[in-house]
Amino acid sequence: MSAPNLKQMGDTTGTLIEHLGMTFSEASGQRVVAHMPVERRVQQPMGLLHGGASVALAETVASLGASLNVAERGMVAVGLEINANHLRGVSGGSVTATGTPIFQGRSTEVWQIELVDERGKLVCTSRCTLAIIPAPAAPPTPG
């Protein structure tokens, strides 16, 4: 991901993105690829990847991609609705999320996100609807 695209996310220090260990290898308004380690902090008590962590990764991917689409208009994207189908358990390694837009409108975008394990097996499929809103005057400061 290029430096300008990373800056679009703002400071991720102390955010859920940092806490869950998310990293990004590609980011544009047409495709975002992110990775998350499957470690204890993202597992449910039985040792499998928690569905909420998968959904957090999916929404992060969609929000970043949609925000990149509308940044030049002084807008950002925020999640309105997300659904997910958890198809396979993962107990270690990492997952990779790839998101692409399936609708790009003036006030909403809809993104499809697929999470795969290290073997390329589909773990979760998700769809996220995002609202396009004016960007805040200044990003919030960590604290």
Active-site residues, by number, are: 59
| Cβ within 8 Å of residue 56, ≥6 positions away | 16, 20
- Length reported for the chain: 143
Query: Could you write out the DSSP letters of every residue in 40-109?
Result: GGGB-TTSSBPHHHHHHHHHHHHHHHHHHHHGGGTEEEEEEEEEEEE-S---SSEEEEEEEEEEE-SSEE
Q: Which sign, positive or negative, has the C-alpha torsion 33, 126, 41, 92?
A: negative
